[in-house]
Amino acid sequence: MAVLVWMPGLRGPTPQRWDELPHKDYAGVMHRVLAQYPLPADEARMPLDQLAARYPAPAPVPR
């Protein structure tokens, strides 16, 4: 199942589409994920910019 994830980037959250979530052995990668959204089959084929508009980045956490 495809997943849209928001990862920290140099200029703020960055969307990425993953074919699946990493195995539990990759906990370091999952620790960096800001948000994740499972994608239905029809949305999995959408362009990344459309997915980012549909599933916006999480609000920044105040420090």
Poorest-pLDDT segment among 14-18, 52-56, 58-62: 58-62
What tokens appear for 20 in the block?
């699946």
Encode pLDDT of 1-32 as tens digits.
Answer: 899 999 998 988 999 999 877 666 555 666 78
Q: Is 22 left (phi over 0), alpha (psi -120 to 50) or beta?
A: beta
pTM of the model: 0.81
User: Token digits for 59?
Assistant: 């609000």
The string of pLDDT tens digits covering residues 35-51 is 999 999 999 999 999 99
SS3 for 63? coil
**Rg of the chain's alpha carbons, rounded to an integer?**
12
Q: Give the per-residue pLDDT at 6.
A: 95
